[in-house]
Amino acid sequence: MNNTKDKNNTRNTLSNWHNFRLKIIFESIVVGACSALIVVFYRYALEKALSFSKYLYRFQIAHLWFIPIWLIILVMAALLVGLLVYRNPMISGSGIPQVEGVLLRKLDMNWWKVIVGKFVGGVICIGAGLSLGREGPSIQIGAAAGEGMSRIFKRAKMEEKFLITSGASAGLSAAFNAPFAGVIFALEEVHKNFSPIVMTSALAASITADFISKHFFGLKPMFNFQHITPIPLDKYGYILALGIIVGILGVIFNKTLLGTQALYKKQAWLSPIARPIIPFLMAGVLGLLLPQVLGGGHELISLISETPLSIKLLLIVLVVKFFFTMISFGSSAPGGIFLPMLVIGALIGVLYGDLIHSFFGFDKQFIINLMILAMAGYFSSIVKAPITGCILITEMTGSFSHLLSISTVCLTAYVIAEIAHSKPIYESLLERLLSNGGKEFQGESKVKVIIETAVCLGSCLEGKAIKEVAWPSKCLLVGIKRGDVEIIPRGDTLINAGDYLIALTDERHASAIREQLSESAEKCSLE
């Protein structure tokens, strides 16, 4: 313990900051490999569990006597999941808000309990057919693996957050076979700023994870669409309209999801442990009536891309998938919304394409394009991460021919979400988790950490001398990184846009100091 504390004192923290940048890349490769192996096993277990449950649903149709037995099994599984979440709230939901809370030093997690609980809970939930995805849990499992490596090898707190980020990026990369999306997600959503160190360490972990994942699942992209013809430029009016539609529907998704969580909480008669019973029983019914909506929905995307469905059936599947996702996620069951939201977006795109074909004669060969575009736009509106949306869908489809149209839809959907003042869903979920009494982070005053903050163009700090800024009382500005040059700050040193401010503080006050520095570095000056 003493050795660990010595690593986190002021002198060693500053020394490590200047010497560990190359080391962190190699450590991230190890974290990427460990995360990928766990996530690959997780993916395999989920696929086998869901395939087995679908077999049981087909069995029930021919053997009706098994239906009540299966419903009893579902209730018992739901209670087990509820008990797991009750004992460890950090495994509830997707896991992405929890990872962001840990990196912001607002939440604390026990890394091995998260891995075990998320793995077991996710397999039970998705195996039973709940409309949840594997991607959020994969991100949290990867982050927990990164934290585990840090704790096992007694790395400094400064290194730990980079290893957690690298693990999270590797988790997304292994879940979707999308290494660049893992990197951009870490920058755009998790850290919400561009950091060269985060980028290089996350890239090392993501590439490693992608290599391992493709070794097990093959080199093909997740959605292997064939013969995609780019939409002509004279049809971009339809694309803009699609961006507006998915932007509005994305705002509705966020409001409904948060409203469903609130509705569950208001049911005083329903204990938290028993909440998963509702989606589990719903899965039992839908498995007999509409099995296409079970699970994350990968097979559903393949179905609607290969087999034309009537507008009526598409609408039914869309509505049922939407509300089934709300009910599944709202119960706090371990599982994400990444893939379900993409599936809902795909259904919106196909339905939109069929409607404009019927009313305006839109060429049906481009409907598959609209499905892809709607997935990206819907994601951008909900998560408010348009660059991640563009890169993610491009990597998942393996085609760069529609990059311009994807960018157009993502930007349009993002603007609509901004106009509606819709918060990113994971930010809202983190706020709710903290307000509900999540396991708060307990820092130590003797442990020192480094905070790196980017100065944005037009911020309050731009153009000011260091002595002119009212810095937080609990931190010390120890450096300014400008390109490849590191400047030792003096009172008359001017701060430029694009600078990275390097501040030293103790672990207990790191979260508050980070928020204060970020607000000053990002808030636009009105002078």
| Cα 127 from Cα 46, distance rounded (Å) | 6
In the block, tokens 């305006």 appear at 360
Q: Could you tell me if 6 and 79 lie in one domain? A: yes
Which residues share a beta bridge with 299?
none
Beta carbons within 8 Å of 51's beta carbon, 6+ residues apart: none
| Cα 15 from Cα 7, distance rounded (Å) | 10
Query: How many distinct structural domains can be found in the chain?
Result: 3
Q: pLDDT at residue 30 above 90?
A: yes
The residue out of 407, 435, 463 marking a domain boundary is 435
In this predicted structure, what is the pLDDT of residue 236?
Answer: 94
In this predicted structure, what is the pLDDT of residue 83?
Answer: 97
> Does residue 349 fall inside a structural domain?
yes
Closest Cα partner for 379 from 368, 365, 394, 367?
Answer: 394
Mean pLDDT for 369-376 is 94
Question: Where does residue 257 rank: exposed (0-12), middle (13-18), buried (19+ CB within 10 A)?
Answer: buried
Residue 222's pLDDT band (cuts 50, 70, 90):
confident
In this predicted structure, what is the pLDDT of residue 1?
Answer: 45
> Does residue 223 fall inside a structural domain?
no
Please, are residues 174 and 43 in contact by the beta-carbon 8 Å criterion?
A: yes
In the block, tokens 């493709």 appear at 214
Higher pLDDT, 298 or 323: 323
What would the two tokens of residue 361 be? 């004669």
Beta carbons within 8 Å of 361's beta carbon, 6+ residues apart: none
The residue out of 378, 406, 435 marking a domain boundary is 435
Q: Could you tell me if 427 and 475 lie in one domain? A: no
Indicate which CATH number applies to the domain containing 73.
1.10.3080.10
Please, are residues 50 and 295 in contact by the beta-carbon 8 Å criterion?
A: yes
> Does residue 224 fall inside a structural domain?
no
Q: pLDDT tens for residues 33-74?
A: 999 999 999 999 999 999 999 899 999 999 999 999 999 999
The residue out of 435, 465, 489 marking a domain boundary is 435
Q: pLDDT at residue 193 above 80?
A: no
Per DSSP, the three-state class of 9 is: coil
Please, are residues 332 and 257 in contact by the beta-carbon 8 Å criterion?
A: no
| Cα 144 from Cα 16, distance rounded (Å) | 23
Q: Could you tell me if 197 and 247 lie in one domain? A: no
Mean pLDDT for 288-311 is 89
Q: Which of 81-90, 180-189, 299-308 has the highest mean pLDDT?
A: 81-90
Q: pLDDT at residue 181 above 80?
A: yes
Q: Could you tell me if 204 and 241 lie in one domain? A: no
Residue 444's pLDDT band (cuts 50, 70, 90):
low
Residue 516's pLDDT band (cuts 50, 70, 90):
confident
Q: Could you tell me if 361 and 486 lie in one domain? A: no
> Is the pTM above the cut of 0.85?
yes
| Cα 171 from Cα 210, distance rounded (Å) | 9
Least confident stretch, 255-264, 268-277, 341-350, 399-408: 399-408
Q: Could you tell me if 193 and 289 lie in one domain? A: no
Q: pLDDT at residue 256 above 90?
A: yes
Q: Could you tell me if 39 and 69 lie in one domain? A: yes
Q: Could you tell me if 211 and 244 lie in one domain? A: no
> Does residue 441 fall inside a structural domain?
no
Indicate which CATH number applies to the domain containing 483.
3.30.70.1450
In this predicted structure, what is the pLDDT of residue 504?
Answer: 86
> Does residue 276 fall inside a structural domain?
no
Domain that holds residue 112: 2-217
Q: How many residues does the chain have?
A: 527
> Does residue 195 fall inside a structural domain?
yes
> Does residue 323 fall inside a structural domain?
yes
471 CB neighbour count, 10 Å cutoff: 16
